[in-house]
Amino acid sequence: MGSALLSQWVKGPEAITVVDPAGSDVPDGVTLVKDRAAITGQSFDCIVAAVKPQLIDTVMADYAEHLAPDGYVLSIAAGYSATRLSQLIGDAPVVRTMPNLPAAIGRGVSGVCPGPHATDAHRAHAEGFMGRAGTAVLVDSEEKLDRVTAVAGSGPGYVFEIARAYAEAAMAQGFEEEEARTMVLETIGGAIAMASAPGADDLETLRNSVTSKGGTTAAGLDALNGDGGLSTRLHDTLQAAYERAVELR
């Protein structure tokens, strides 16, 4: 996820340094070092915690000395609270964010939650920073951020699975895999673009606009969600993801 966000962050004015022992590829204009020793004596206005949650305790504490006096820590690590991170880095200001995978193409959705000691300036920078990768949604608690995780953070997985099952059903109708994939993705993409257009009707009205009484769409929708099974399954999906996010935190 760090790499996905970096591909969008690099479009801004900040000078960005990445510390990565693995030496991963970084975009042009980004400084890459493989060891923290290479930034000895340097300080930064924003330190991004982009390591796996289980590594934070052993990695991030050493970066306290690199945070500028008015700087803050931006965490994209799931399952590690802002309070814990702040205490780990000498009571540093922390803003937590939960992005999702389409950030890699500038179409992500990111929850942004100011944590301990975060100022309005820190919040504004975090919102703008994450906004480069798509849409930033400001929330006022980590509990709400866990709900963003359930809806948007994990959401691409749900969409990919729905599209996979949809394409599989299309293949059962006699289409080749590539034909099914094209029809399904273009149908989903076109419908989403229509619903996202300025002044678009609400989703229920849009659904009704393509559903003639007794027609093919009505028959399909009845099989899809006539008994409310799809609605229930999606509710259960988000609730399970939310409960797991709480457990991880």
Question: What is the architecture, at CATH level 2, of domain 2-148?
Answer: 3-Layer(aba) Sandwich (3.40)
The pLDDT of residue 25: 87
The pLDDT of residue 96: 96
- 110: tokens are 């990111």
- 203: tokens are 């989703």
Distance, in Å, from the CA atom of 221 to the CA atom of 75, rounded to the nearest integer, reads: 41
- Tens digits of residue pLDDT in 69-80: 999 999 998 888
* CATH H-level, domain 155-248: superfamily: ProC C-terminal domain-like (1.10.3730.10)
The pLDDT of residue 24: 81
**What residue ranges do the domains of the chain occupy?**
2-148, 155-248
The pLDDT of residue 53: 84
Question: How big, in percent rounded to 5, are the helix, strand and coil portions of the chain?
Answer: 55, 15, 30
Long-range contact set of residues 90-97: C-beta below 8 Å, sequence gap at least 24? 90/64, 91/116, 91/117, 92/64, 92/67, 92/117, 93/117, 93/118, 93/119, 93/122, 94/118, 95/122, 95/123, 95/126, 96/142, 96/145, 97/126, 97/130, 97/136
Q: pLDDT tens string for the chain (249 positions)? A: 888 899 999 999 999 999 998 888 899 999 999 999 999 999 999 999 998 888 999 999 999 999 999 999 999 988 889 999 999 999 999 999 999 999 999 999 999 999 999 999 999 999 999 999 999 999 999 999 999 999 999 999 999 999 999 999 999 999 999 999 999 999 999 999 999 999 999 999 999 999 999 999 999 999 999 999 999 999 999 999 999 988 887
- Tens digits of residue pLDDT in 122-178: 999 999 999 999 999 999 999 999 999 999 999 999 999 999 999 999 999 999 999
Enumerate the β-bridge partners of residue 137.
111
The pLDDT of residue 247: 87
pTM exceeds 0.75 for this model = yes
